[in-house]
Structure 1
Amino acid sequence: MKTALVVVDLQNDYFKGGNWELVGTEQAAENASKLLKYARNNEMPIIHVRHEFPTDDAPFFKPNTKGAEIHSSVKNLDSEPVVLKHQINSFRETNLKELLDLNEVDSILICGAMSHMCIDGVTRAANDFGYKCTVAHDACATLDLEFNGVKVPAKQVHAAFMAALKFAYADVLTTAEIIELKN
């Protein structure tokens, strides 16, 4: 089985001082950088995904801004492709599937942000395309949400989405567990 690491949307706007700061982004990026190091050392295909809204009136990830750039802690090497997306699902209207198929990938290791949006979207879509999926849950971040007057802390948002993915879409493991399994 050939596995690729897909790093989703770990961009400056999600970090401290950014336009859409998440809870735990620094820790998620630290774990994502461990996965990047592992993948690079083991010559795994690596694909970075970068979200950019198509217009300047977006709340974050505005075109051609520092906030839309990939964070320095998980910056791609020149040899690692960056998929630019304008949708939640990293496969929609992008060349992600083409890159995975070109590399003969059948298994995807996923990390990034936001747990309840883009990580959920890419994992479900990848599973639907037939890829075996693993999500590094401690290399993902999200934020507090509110629905119908109920505030939901980021920790609970994250847990709910990871539980749903683990139920039928992916193996959901820690960074350490993933690296240990691969060795």
Structure 2
Amino acid sequence: MENTALILIDLQNDYFGSFEGAKWQLYETELAAANALKLLNKFREKNMKIVHVRHEFDMENAPFFAPNSQGAKIHNTLTPKENESQVLKHEVNSFKGTNLKEILDDSNITNVIIVGAMSFMCVDSVTRAASDFGYNCFVAHDACTTKDLEFNGIKIPAPMAHAAFMAGLEFAFAKVHTTNEILELL
């Protein structure tokens, strides 16, 4: 796939159970990050466009991803290299208030592969926005993660929440595949 970028969303320390002091642990983050790393390594090997997106809350007493904290840093297994683009965001949607679209357009990107966290929030938001902007979207579902949810007294285990959001994205916004399936496309 020519003109393709890998977008890694919010794979930051506060989401990792293996990070001491993690403030917002997600379900099997390490497994999702290991799959994201497979894609990251392939993109590095092929010298393809890579964009790391990092979230910091723009408020005092942030629940997680506090500005300039260790928890807000990208996990050391996925540390950006000097030639890879980095975007700092303060909103759920990685395009809102950032230069993400400029970065993609300046590199003539038409296809985006999305990985990261959280499936029901930032991954969902960036995928829908990217689709609306006309990019061909692919989500590596096993390189994404989320947490247990609750709504109106109904508890939703993380794997079910993840599956529901991946189904919604696949229905109208993206091709949703495994990491290995996407690696075969590259």
Common topology (TM > 0.5): yes
SS in 2 for 1:38: helix
In 2: Cα distance, 1:9 partner to 1:51 partner: 6
Find the counterpart in structure 2 of residue 163 from structure 1.
Answer: 167
Following superposition, the deviation at residue 56 of structure 1 comes to: 2.9
1:81 corresponds in structure 2 to 85
Residue in structure 2 matched with residue 34 of structure 1 by the alignment: 38
Moved over 6 A (4+): none
CA RMSD of aligned residues (A): 0.7
* Pairing 1:125–2:129 present: yes
* SS of equivalent to 2:81: coil
The one of 111, 114, 135 equivalent to 2:115 is 111
Unmatched 5+ residue regions in structure 2? none
TM superposition score normalised by structure 2: 0.96
Determine the structure 1 residue equivalent to 2:65.
Answer: 61
Which amino acid counterpart does residue 7 of structure 2 have in structure 1?
V
CA distance in 1, matches of 2:185, 2:115: 16
Which residue of structure 1 aligns with residue 181 of structure 2? 177
Structure-2 residue corresponding to 1:2:
3
> What is aligned with 1:24?
28
Unaligned runs of 5+ in 1: none
SS at match of 2:94: coil
SS in 1 for 2:182: helix
Counterpart residue identity of residue 159, structure 1: A
Cα distance between partner residues in 2 of 1:137 and 1:83: 22
2:62 and 2:106 map into 1 onto residues whose CA distance is 33
Task: Name the CA distance, whole Å, in 2 between partners of 1:147 and 1:99.
Answer: 36
Q: Which amino acid letter does the alignment assign opposite residue 15 of structure 1?
A: F
Aligned residues with identical type, % of pairs: 58
Of 146, 149, 161, the residue aligned with 1:145 is 149
Which secondary structure state, in structure 1, belongs to the residue aligned with residue 62 of structure 2?
A: coil
CA apart distance, 1:43: 1.1
| Superposed CA offset, 1:6-42 (max 9, x none) | 0000000000141000001000000000000011111
